[in-house]
Amino acid sequence: MITFEGAAKLYPDGTVAVDDLNLTVETGQTTVFVGPSGSGKTTSLRMVNRMVEPTRGTVLIDGEDVRRRDPAALRRSIGYVIQQAGLFPHRTVRDNIATVPLLLGWGRARARARATELMELVGLEPSQARRYPHQLSGGQQQRVGVARALAADPPVLLMDEPFSAVDPVVRAGLQDELLRLQQELRKTIVFVTHDIDEAVRLGDRIAVFRPGGRLAQYDSPERLLAEPCDAFVESFVGYDRGVRRLSFFPARELSLREDVVFEDATGADRAAEALRGENEPWALVVSADRLPLGWAAAAQLDRAPAGTALGALDLAPYGHTFDVATDSLRAALDAAVLSPAGRAVGVDTDGRVVGVVSQEDLGTALWSVTT
C-alpha cells in the first residue's frame, strides 16, 4: 500500500507541480495516474522512489515514510519502467535485465539465470539474450524494460508512460501482456499515462489529475466513466464515455434470437415463411456445423425460385462477430453497427453461432443495464 499524505511539490520559481495530494494506492492493484501534461502525475509517481522529494507532506509505503530509507536501497526494491525503456546501449538484453540483481550483489550466474527466466515471462525469444538494444524494435525494447523492472521481484512497480512511444498496434499488444502479467504477479503498480483509454483498459483504480497538480477524481474506471465529478473530468474522459462504459457490461446477458438462424441446406421458401411470421427482414445463414456464412434479406428470399437452398444464394457478409462468453456490450454494439443487416452475430469460443441481436434489441438492453 502506498499512501500520499498531503504531498506537494513546489519549485523555487513558484511553479506548483503537485498540490496537496492525498491518495492511497492499494496493494496488488494497478492504479493509473492520468491527466494532461503539467498535471503533476509523473512528479507524483517519482515521489514514491524519491526521484523527486516532496516539498511538503509525506509518501509512505506500507506505513513507512520513504524518506527514512536510503534512496538507492529504496529504488532497488521498486521496479521502474520509463518511456522508451531507457535501456543501456552498451549492455546486452540479458545484462540490461540483470542490472538490479547485480546491484543487489546476487552474483553474475544467478543474475543471468534470473534474466533468462524473465525474458520468457515477458515473451522474448531466448535468442535475443545476447542482442543489443539498438537491434530490437520499440515494442521489444519496452518488454526488456518491463523485464528489467521485474528482475529483483519488487512488490511495487512504477511505470512512467511506458507505452507512449510505440505505435497503437504494438501498444495494444503490450497492454494485453501487462494485464496478463498482472493477473499472474499481482504487483502494486502505479502507471502514469495521458491516454484515458489506456487508463480505463489497465487500471483497477484511476486518479485523474488536473493542471496545477491537483487530484480531480479517484475512482474505479467504471464509476469514472459513469459519473465524472465535474466538467474538467467529463471533458478529459471524452465525449464517447457512454459507449466506452459499455466495456464493463458483459455480452452474455443479452438475449439472442435463434429463430432467424438457418442452415445453408434449408430451402429459401421455408426461411422466407419464417421471417414473414416474425416480421424480420434478415436471415442468418450458417453451415452444418453452425459457422456463420452470411445474411439473406427477406426480399431476396421471396424472389428466389422454388426449391433453392439458402447456401446457393448471394449472401451479404456477416461482418465481425462477438464472443458471447467473453466480450462486452461494447463489442456487441460495434458488431451490430458495422453489420450490413444492422444485426450482430454472437458466437461461442469455437466461432459457432449462438444467435443474433438487432440494434433495437441492443438498445433496449443498454437502457436496462446503464440506468
Which range of residues in 22-30, 89-97, 173-181, 358-366 is near another protein by CB under 8 A?
Answer: 89-97
Among residues 29, 58, 83, 128, the one that binds another protein under rule CB under 8 A: 83
Which range of residues in 11-19, 53-61, 69-77, 211-219 is near another protein by CB under 8 A?
Answer: 69-77
- Min CB(67)–another protein separation in Å: 16
Residue 99 touching another protein (CB under 8 A): yes
Classify burial at 231, counting beta carbons within 10 Å of its beta carbon; exposed 0-12, middle 13-18, buried 19 or more.
Answer: exposed
Q: Which is nearer to another protein, 73 or 312 (CB)?
A: 73
Classify burial at 350, counting beta carbons within 10 Å of its beta carbon; exposed 0-12, middle 13-18, buried 19 or more.
Answer: exposed
Kindly state the cell numbers that stand for 206. 484511476
Among residues 76, 143, 194, 205, the one that binds another protein under rule CB under 8 A: 76
Q: Which is nearer to another protein, 51 or 229 (CB)?
A: 51
- Min CB(72)–another protein separation in Å: 5
Between residue 35 and residue 64, which ones bind another protein under the rule CB under 8 A? Answer: 49, 51
Which range of residues in 88-96, 207-215, 218-226, 319-327 is near another protein by CB under 8 A?
Answer: 88-96
Beta bridge partners of 65: 60
Residue 31 touching another protein (CB under 8 A): no
Residue 165 touching another protein (CB under 8 A): no
Can you give the three-state secondary structure of 50-103, one letter per residue? CCCCCCEEEEEECCEEHHHCCHHHHHHCEEEECCCCCCCCCCCHHHHHCHHHHH
Picking from 294, 244, 253, 250, the residue whose alpha carbon sits closest to that of residue 271 is 294
Give the Cα separation of 188 and 78 in Å (integer). Answer: 10
Give the Cα separation of 195 and 171 in Å (integer). Answer: 12
Residue 92 touching another protein (CB under 8 A): yes
- How many amino acids of this chain bind another protein (CB under 8 A)? 27
- Min CB(147)–another protein separation in Å: 13
Residue 105 touching another protein (CB under 8 A): no
Residue 148 touching another protein (CB under 8 A): yes
Q: Which is nearer to another protein, 11 or 242 (CB)?
A: 11
- Min CB(159)–another protein separation in Å: 11
- Min CB(175)–another protein separation in Å: 21
Other C-beta atoms closer than 10 Å to the C-beta of 254 total: 22
Picking from 293, 338, 333, 347, the residue whose alpha carbon sits closest to that of residue 319 is 338
Beta carbons within 8 Å of 292's beta carbon, 6+ residues apart = 284, 285, 286, 318, 321, 345, 347, 351, 353
Among residues 53, 64, 88, 325, the one that binds another protein under rule CB under 8 A: 88
Question: What region does 147 belong to: left with phi over 0, alpha with psi -120 to 50, or beta?
Answer: alpha
Classify burial at 81, counting beta carbons within 10 Å of its beta carbon; exposed 0-12, middle 13-18, buried 19 or more.
Answer: buried
Beta carbons within 8 Å of 245's beta carbon, 6+ residues apart = 222, 225, 226, 370
Which range of residues in 19-27, 90-98, 117-125, 166-174 is near another protein by CB under 8 A?
Answer: 90-98
Residue 82 touching another protein (CB under 8 A): yes
Among residues 10, 29, 91, 121, the one that binds another protein under rule CB under 8 A: 91
Residue 33 touching another protein (CB under 8 A): no
Among residues 10, 16, 103, 172, the one that binds another protein under rule CB under 8 A: 103
Among residues 24, 55, 84, 220, the one that binds another protein under rule CB under 8 A: 84
| Contact of 96 with 133, CB cutoff 8 Å | yes
Give the Cα separation of 220 and 232 in Å (integer). Answer: 17
Beta carbons within 8 Å of 312's beta carbon, 6+ residues apart = none
Which range of residues in 18-26, 85-93, 112-120, 234-242 is near another protein by CB under 8 A?
Answer: 85-93
CA angle 252, 258, 261 (to 5 degrees): 125
- Min CB(63)–another protein separation in Å: 21
Residue numbers at the binding site for another protein (CB under 8 A) = 49, 51, 71-77, 80, 82-84, 86-92, 99-100, 103, 132-134, 148
